[in-house]
Structure 1
Amino acid sequence: IGTVQPAEFMKFFLIVSLAAVITEHNARYVQHERDFLLLVKMVAVTALPLGLIIIQPDLGIGLILCVILACAMLLSGLNWKWLLTMFALFAGSVIIFFYLFYFHNDLLATFFPGHAMNRIMAWLQPFEYADDLSYQLVQAINATGSGQMFGVGYGKLQVFVPELHTDFIFTTIASHYGFIGAAIVLIVLFLFVYRLIQIALETADPFGTYIVTGYVAMFTFQIFQNIGMTIGVLPITGLPLPFISYGGSTMIVNLVGLGLIMAIASQSRISMFDED
């Protein structure tokens, strides 16, 4: 829709929706009573938007929705047997995927779209496709390494990387300001997530706690995924680095989330004038 990306706003709606579903269910039923019903509710709330986003296709935001759902499952009070079952299904799917990728690539290609297969091949074998599929990744790795300890200085890039201001903004930071500059950014992001975790632990309202933890999962995954893909540790998914990468829709969603978290934190803050 013009320059607005509706899928970005789905992250906010899913976090709030899952928080409402879990809070309502736990208020109605005793702990571990009808856990399967709660699991079905959470999957049903996630399935429709996830399916529509995957069809686009938008693998990055699809993964974020899955991470938000997984975080909600962990904190919803589900019996550990259900959690182990879900973890076993996930682990089994990953094992089957890599088995098919290495030994039955043609069969796997019938289930996965071509662009997804290309990204995985570019990730696992980047230097074999340096002139084609993994050109941007190889250039990003070289540009990141060119910064060394203190960087080459602002505006003095030695390696060309396409679209540096968006998904590969961390490469720009590492190249301009080196390991020191990149480490400072990582420390700031770590302190940011740490503060969100503190707010989640201090929040007395379960609904507020679920919302804050949903954003903790979202921000943490985006940070690890974005930085990981720029250095070749994780596959490229097109996720921006929160509050740093260029992007209007994602910035709005992040700021709306921060506003909601600040409202939750203000309600849980203990004042010296409060009556006990």
Structure 2
Amino acid sequence: MAQTRTRKKEDRIDYGIILSVMLLALFGMAAIYMAVSSDASARPMRAMIMQALWYVIGGAGIFFVMQFDAEQLWRVAPLLYGLGILLLIAVLFLYDPDVARNTGAHSWFKFGPVTFQPSEVMKPAYILMLARVVTNHNVAMKHSWANDWRLIGEMLLWTLPVLVLMILQKDFGTSLVFAAIFAGVVLVSGITWRIILPIGLGAAAIGTGTILLVIEDWGRKILLHVGFKNYQFKRIDSWLDPAGATSGSSYQLWQSMKAIGSGEMFGRGFNNLKVSVPVRESDMAFSAIGEAFGFIGCAALILLYFLLIYQMIRVTFDTQNEFYAYIATGVIMMILFHVFENIGMNIGLLPLTGIPLPFVSQGGSFLLANMLSVGMVLSMRFHHQSYMFSREEESFK
């Protein structure tokens, strides 16, 4: 019996998830080193050290978050959400002007040499808050047509302030991430498909209609009146016709596609990049992996993401806790959307949106948000096994 109890204690940490993150980190460090090395004016070792430092901070964050059980996460959810909202408001007035000039987004703080994006902190906080709202509603009410619409209204009540602040920051890409988290939680919340299906079809129709309007000159005039910007039109143009302006708006996408294609099956080899791709260490990190390691390397990276998501889903089924299930869904949707959008835009299947690749792209606040989110999933296994162990101990008394 003692051996069984010892084994239970060891199983409290999900080493499969940790191993997947570590392997993704190796891909990331390799991609950043190669991307920065290809820039003669950059310092690859400094970039590596900074990213490694953020991994250390993120690892400490994982260990810290793992100590919180479901009850503690439930209690801190509103506090973290409120803190996230305050930071999103503050950055509208205290944003870094240099980053805003280069990216057009008012979404970064700057502290000396370090920049920080508060919307990344908001992601895990938003996931926790949404999980709390849905769990609280489902415990208090049975599912019905009226109650399901009420649940959607409650979720929107906590989502709209975030989206409005993202719009004010001119950060459309991050807005899509929050929308993806919202959609994922809605799908598993128990809301009837008689509501979800029409909403999904309506969203698809709006997206399709927007693309059709962009194609026509008169359509663009309509979109300009509702808030679209010229740079957004250029991104869609480069997506629909990447070869149309390879020296202008399509340059980044065209170069990324050339780099990935030149890697062929096995790649050119580590640190042997020949194609110049802008922002390669961040948004276009996948192109570095494609050129250096070819189709085999890209497939291995995608497989690692698949394994990470699979293990998160497995933890959800093992713990069988509704609040945990919604947290895991939010984390999975966040990572899945980032992977899908980033790889899609690198190979020309989706428009460029400035969405980085989880655990691979350079970026401290982005990496920290991903690590904290993984920590929330790891806490599910950690405290579930602790609970099972305590029950087992009681049975021996």
TM-score normalised by structure 2 residue count: 0.67
2:243 is the counterpart of 1:127:
yes
2:133 is the counterpart of 1:21:
yes
Paired with 1:91 and 1:182, the residues of 2 have a C-alpha distance of 29
Paired with 2:390 and 2:309, the residues of 1 have a C-alpha distance of 27
Shift of 1:180: 1.3
Q: Which residue of 1 aligns with 2:320?
A: 204
Paired with 1:61 and 1:242, the residues of 2 have a C-alpha distance of 13
1:97 to 210, 214, 231: 210
1:256 to 362, 372, 387: 372
Percentage identity across aligned positions?
Answer: 36
Shift of 1:271: 5.0
Shift of 1:239: 1.0
Alpha-carbon contact 1:228-1:234 (below 8 Å) kept: yes
Q: Which residue of 2 aligns with 1:79?
A: 192
2:258 is the counterpart of 1:137:
no
The higher relative CO (CA closer than 8 Å, separation ≥ 6) is in 2
How many residues are aligned here?
276
User: Is the alpha carbon distance of 1:39 and 1:272 closer, same or farther for their aligned partners in structure 2, counting shifts above 3 Å?
Assistant: closer
Map Cα deviations across residues 225-276 of structure 1 (whole Å, 9 max, x no partner). 1111101011111111110111000111111111111111222335597267
Map Cα deviations across residues 171-195 of structure 1 (whole Å, 9 max, x no partner). 1011111111111111111111111
Shift of 1:108: 2.3
SS of the aligned residue for 2:255 comes to: helix
Shift of 1:51: 1.2
Instruction: Identify the range of structure 1 (50-59 vs 107-116) with the bigger mean alpha-carbon deviation.
Output: 107-116
Shift of 1:107: 2.2
Shift of 1:197: 1.2
2:181 to 68, 79, 95: 68
Alpha-carbon contact 1:109-1:117 (below 8 Å) kept: no
Shift of 1:212: 0.6
Paired with 1:56 and 1:129, the residues of 2 have a C-alpha distance of 28
2:166 is the counterpart of 1:53:
yes
Return the letter of the residue paired with 2:222: L
Alpha-carbon contact 1:199-1:265 (below 8 Å) kept: yes
Map Cα deviations across residues 80-121 of structure 1 (whole Å, 9 max, x no partner). 221122112202212321221223233223331222222111
Query: 5+ residue gaps in structure 1?
Result: none
1:11 to 109, 123, 145: 123
Map Cα deviations across residues 96-151 of structure 1 (whole Å, 9 max, x no partner). 21221223233223331222222111111111111110101000000111111111
Alpha-carbon contact 1:5-1:249 (below 8 Å) kept: yes
Paired with 1:149 and 1:94, the residues of 2 have a C-alpha distance of 35
2:221 to 88, 100, 106: 106
Over alpha carbons, which structure has the higher Rg? Answer: 2
Return the letter of the residue paired with 1:152: R
Paired with 1:148 and 1:89, the residues of 2 have a C-alpha distance of 39
Map Cα deviations across residues 12-33 of structure 1 (whole Å, 9 max, x no partner). 1111111000011111112226
Paired with 1:109 and 1:58, the residues of 2 have a C-alpha distance of 17
Shift of 1:54: 1.9
Paired with 2:230 and 2:285, the residues of 1 have a C-alpha distance of 26
TM-score normalised by structure 1 residue count: 0.95
Q: Which residue of 1 aligns with 2:201?
A: 88
Map Cα deviations across residues 193-238 of structure 1 (whole Å, 9 max, x no partner). 1111111222222111100111011111111111111010111111
Alpha-carbon contact 1:144-1:171 (below 8 Å) kept: yes
Paired with 1:24 and 1:265, the residues of 2 have a C-alpha distance of 22
Paired with 1:213 and 1:200, the residues of 2 have a C-alpha distance of 9
Shift of 1:68: 0.5
Paired with 2:359 and 2:352, the residues of 1 have a C-alpha distance of 19
Higher helix fraction: Structure 1 or Structure 2? 2
Instruction: Identify the range of structure 1 (115-124 vs 18-27) with the bigger mean alpha-carbon deviation.
Output: 115-124
Query: 5+ residue gaps in structure 2?
Result: 1-108
Shift of 1:5: 0.2
Alpha-carbon contact 1:204-1:268 (below 8 Å) kept: no
Q: Which aligned segments of 4 or more residues in structure 1 are displaced greater than 4 angstroms? A: 270-273
Paired with 2:158 and 2:332, the residues of 1 have a C-alpha distance of 20
